[in-house]
Amino acid sequence: MQARNQHDGGPWELYFSCPPQMKELCAVTVCVTQQASVCRQLPQILKCRELIFTEPDILATPALGFMSRVHIIMQKSLYRTGRLQTRFEKMGLEFIRRIFIIILIGG
């Protein structure tokens, strides 16, 4: 699988070897707050790693072009539980926006 985000805020591209039900996925962007920053250079890398290793049901990647943002992809059912939102608060991550996933079928 490969995820890519363009610097200009363009669309994400995801490639799966065995595609999931795209209708069941959602994405969010969170921001590392100043008080949560342990490392001044790239705090989002530390938070992204923490999320990846403690939440096995998500994909997370630092946002290119932003020093403190992380993009997270998960199943909608996990998002609806509210468990991750609580975890974000405890980790010092601020919810910025939910991103809608659009299914494109090309030929």
How many other CB atoms are found less than 10 A from the CB of residue 26? 18
Using an 8 Å Cβ cutoff, are 64 and 71 in contact? no
Tell me the pLDDT tens digit for each residue of 73-105: 998 898 899 888 888 888 889 988 887 776 666
Q: Which domains does the chain have, with CATH numbers?
A: 22-99 (3.30.70.100)
The predicted model scores a pTM of 0.71
* CA–CA dist 90, 84 (Å, integer): 10
Structure tokens at 48: 């992204």
